[in-house]
Amino acid sequence: MQGVAFYLLATVAVVSALLVVSARNPVHSVLWLILSFFSSAGLFVLLGAEFLAMLLVVVYVGAVAVLFLFVVMMLDVDFVKLREGYARYLPLGGIVAAVLLAEMIMVSVAVVQGGAANGASAPGALGPDVTNVEAIGRVLYTDYIYFFQAAGVVLLIAMIGAITLTLRHKVHIKRQNPGDQVNRDRRKSVEIKPAPTGQGVSAEELLP
C-alpha cells in the first residue's frame, strides 16, 4: 500500500511541477504549485518526516503559494508581453536547466555512493517512544538555540525594513496620532456652551 501511495504522490508531484512551468495562465501555475507542495508533503509523511511535511504545508502552501496567488490575481498582468520574451530567453533557460540537471545527477550519484557522509557514525537513537518532531525540537532548542534566535532576529530586522521602505507619508492624507489624542487637554478640546431650556442650540453656534 505504501508503494502505491509513493508512486501516486510522486507522479502527481512531477506532473504538477511540469504544469507549473508550462501553464499559460499564472493563476493556474500557482494552483499547480500548491498541488505539487501537497504531494511533496505526502511524500515526506511516507518517509516518516512529519515535521517537514507540516512545515511544507504551513509555510509554502499556507503563506508563499497563497501570497503568489493573491499577487497574481490582484495585479493587472499583461499576458501578451509575458509571452513575447519566451522564445528569446529559451536557449538561456535550457542551458540553466541542463546545468541544474547535471548537478542533481552528480549529487544523486554521490549520495548513492555514500558521499561526504561515508564512514560517519550515525546519531544515537533517542528511543522508540520519541518522535522525529520531538527529536528535532530537542536539538533545535539545545545545540542550535543561538542560531535559532539569530534567525529570528534577522527575520525581525527584515520585517521592520520592509515596513520602513513601504511606509509613505502623504501631505494630503489625514492620519491619526494616538499620542496627541491621549495627551490632549480637556479644556482645549471640550467647550461648554449654555443653552436656554427648551430651545436647544443651533448648528451655527456649535461651530468654533
pLDDT in tens, 19-49: 888 887 777 888 888 888 888 888 888 887 7
Burial class of residue 55 (count of CB atoms within 10 Å of its CB; 0-12, 13-18, 19+) = middle
Give the span between the Cα atoms of 53 and 44, in whole angstroms.
5
What number is the average pLDDT over the span 83-101? 75
**Three cell numbers, residue 44:** 515526506
Q: What is the pLDDT of residues 127-144, one digit of tens each?
A: 667 777 777 888 888 888
Reported confidence tier of residue 188, pLDDT bands at 50, 70, 90: confident
Q: What is the pLDDT of residues 99-134, one digit of tens each?
A: 878 877 776 676 566 554 455 455 555 666 777 777
Of 3-12, 84-93, 119-128, least confident by mean pLDDT is 119-128
Percent helix, percent strand, percent coil in the chain, to nearest 5: 70, 0, 30
What number is the average pLDDT over the span 138-153? 84
**Three cell numbers, residue 152:** 529570528
Of 77-91, 92-106, 132-146, least confident by mean pLDDT is 77-91
pTM: 0.51
Write 47-53 long-range contacts (CB < 8 A, 24+).
48/132, 49/132, 50/131, 50/132, 50/133, 51/132, 51/133, 51/136
Q: 21 Cβ partners below 8 Å, 6+ apart? A: 29
